[in-house]
Amino acid sequence: MKIAVYSCREDEIALFEKYGKEYGVELSISPLPPTPETARLAEGCFAVDIITTPVGRDLIDIWRGFGIKAIATRTVGYEHVDYKYAESLGISVSNVSYTPHTVAEYTVMTMLMAIRKMKAILTRYIGQDFSLKDIRGKELCNMTVGVIGTGKIGETVIKNLSGFGCRVLAYDVYEKDSVKQYAQYCPLNTLYHEADLITLHTPATDETCGMINKNTIASMKDGVIIINMARGVLIDTAALIEALESGKVAAAALDVVDGESAIYYKDFKYRPVGHHEMAILQAMPNVLMTPHTAFFTDEAVGDMVRYSIEHCVKNV
């Protein structure tokens, strides 16, 4: 059995070789993304292994002609794949899970950086400005934190926060008893009204896309802090910018942003990025932005490679 691996980074090669041997599969590894032009890399394979590149009907049709039976994306999100169309053709589509600690720990790190104004402190330090003006922060123990989404990552964030002594509110369509010992579930509107800091850990669905918008921001506390380590489409970026400029939102930490897929994981040192809203956010001293790296640990990358191969083998 043979799997075509697309968009393989150098740091993944050894992992693919390790788990390929473990699962008894041959791998055709390429750094190139999946496109109609690179589709032939999957000839003679029974499955393809991808990451974040959008996969539409045209590419799926080509792969089907090669006899592909499974598409595995080594990401938690799978909205970049037209999975309904693939499954209608009898091609299984699978995503992966990985240790929740990687994003959960990163989330708490960015919370602390946001409330302690760390971006401004570090930027000023580089310029040898060691004054204290406008960099006084807050203590997490005195804040109410709202966690939207209590899946594996959201629940781990809540458990991590329990050590800080802050009040934690939680919202999810499906409540979990294991969360209730650390947080109080409440309606989403209550969370918006009462939280000093809101962190998002929900998937991108029709219901959640744009859930942080002009109206919901208006219902939040003045000076609220917003953290998004989940999906960029959860936030109406224009509304967030407006709220940051007015002071309604005091700060934000964003590992994701709507429209990032053509930008993140590429090098733009010597050319325009072409994302106006990202440029505005990046220029703000109270906005911490990172390029979708909350997941990026040794443990998580190993899980992503292993589970993607395992799902290919099991789904055929």
Is the predicted pLDDT of residue 262 greater than 90, yes or no? no
Sign for the CA dihedral angle at 22, 26, 32, 33 comes to negative
Active site residue 116: no
| Same fold: 2-98+298-314 with 101-289 | yes
CATH architecture of 2-98+298-314: 3-Layer(aba) Sandwich (3.40)
pLDDT per residue over 27-48, tens digit each?
A: 999 999 999 999 999 999 999 9
Q: Domain 101-289 belongs to what topology?
A: Rossmann fold (3.40.50)
- Return the domain boundaries, the chain: 2-98+298-314, 101-289
pLDDT the model gives residue 140: 98
pLDDT band at 105 (very low <50, low <70, confident <90, very high): very high
Tokens of 1: 């059995």
Strand partners, 81: 55
Active site residue 311: no
pLDDT the model gives residue 297: 97
Residue 227, Cβ density class (10 Å: 0-12 exposed, 13-18 middle, ≥19 buried): buried
231, 275, 306, 311: the catalytic one is 231
12, 74, 201, 260: the catalytic one is 260
275, 292, 306, 311: the catalytic one is 292
Active site residue 292: yes
Is the predicted pLDDT of residue 79 greater than 90, yes or no? no
pTM: 0.91
The dihedral region occupied by 7, where left means phi > 0, alpha psi between -120 and 50, and beta the remainder, is: left
